Amino acid sequence: MNIIDSVLNDFFWRALIGGLGVALVAGPLGCFVVWRRMAYFGDTLAHSALLGIALSFLINVPLNLGVIITSVVLAIALMSFSRNKTLATDTLLGILAHSALAIGLVALSFMPEVRVDLTGLLFGDLLAMTRNDLLWIYGGTALILTLLVVLWRGLLMSTIHEELARVEGVQVERLRLLLMLMFALVIAVAMKMVGVLLITALLIIPAATARRLASTPEQMATLAILFGFLAVGGGLSLSWHMDTPAGPSVVVTAFVTFLVVYGAAGIFSGRSSA
């Protein structure tokens, strides 16, 4: 107990433990973002998190809860809008992503009594992670991992071929909604770590790096988790030794890993696709 206590009392260890927890779910969820081409969608949800924070102050609910609720509402709105094909999905996402971000910033400016660390929200404040944050992260992580394991086959089938999945009795629509809810949750818990502007990077880069080395979806998800761990560990070390901002350092480490893996794989195989 004493050891755990002293570990949790150290801000660096708290950051590391929190970061690893987020990487654990960002890996497999990131794979779905890559497979389903939802990068822009993830960005939109992430940007809406700022609006969620403003609303949480307004109606006085915990920040994480406000962010989750805003993301969920936006995700459902997006799903219903995209059925109506007047606007292309990327246009719609572009409108909502930046409007949500701008409305969030404007709303916060109307509340001068609320002192928020805007840089921390936008780019993350990994080193300021509290014990309460860790609780949120590991609660969210446990929930998402359980859902992913239980729903894995259905999620994968509906990603591979939606109609084939439906013929085989997979509840495609329900799974899509659950996947959105998982994104909303991971964004709410990862926001503290890398900030709303960099969350998508944490989802996509480890998954994309893993793609180069994997030959099954499960391998890719596992490797994405490992590359996520590497990014968090490397980024925090960089931040510790060079005094760089922690969130961006994590993303930079992930990016360097991506370049190294693709470069090395290119040299060894001489081919461009696995």
Partner 1 sequence: MSETLVAIENLTVRFGNRPVVDRVNLSLHRGDIITIIGPNGAGKTTLIKAILGIQAITSGHIMRSKGLVTGYVPQHLSLEQTLPLTVKRFMLLSGQSLAECESALERTGVSHLLNASVHHLSGGEQQRLLLARALVRKPDLLVLDEPAQGVDINGQAALYDLIRQLRDQLNCGVIMISHDLHLVMAATDKVICLNQHVCCSGHPADVSHDPAFIETFGRPVAESLAVYHHHHNHSHDLHGDVVGSDNSRQAPVREHSHEGCQHEHH
Binding footprint of partner 1 on the chain (CB under 8 A): 34-37, 153, 156-157, 159-161, 163-164, 166-168, 208, 211, 214-220, 273-274
217 or 233: CB nearest partner 1: 217
Q: What whole-number distance in Å separates Cα of residue 270 and Cα of residue 233?
A: 30
Q: What whole-number distance in Å separates Cα of residue 196 and Cα of residue 51?
A: 11
91 or 219: CB nearest partner 1: 219
Cα 4 versus chain centre, distance: 27
CB of 60 to partner 1, least distance (A): 42
CB of 219 to partner 1, least distance (A): 7
CB of 214 to partner 1, least distance (A): 5
CB of 30 to partner 1, least distance (A): 11
**Residue 265: CB atoms within 10 Å:** 16
84 or 273: CB nearest partner 1: 273
Q: What angle do CA 26, 27, 30 make, to 5 degrees?
A: 70
34 or 151: CB nearest partner 1: 34
CA torsion, ordered 48, 49, 51, 52, to nearest 10 deg: 130
> What is the 8-class DSSP label of residue 127?
G
Reference 122, options 138, 102, 142; nearest CA is 102
Over its C-alpha atoms, the chain yields an Rg (Å, rounded) of 19
Q: What whole-number distance in Å separates Cα of residue 111 and Cα of residue 118?
A: 13
CB of 156 to partner 1, least distance (A): 6
24 or 214: CB nearest partner 1: 214
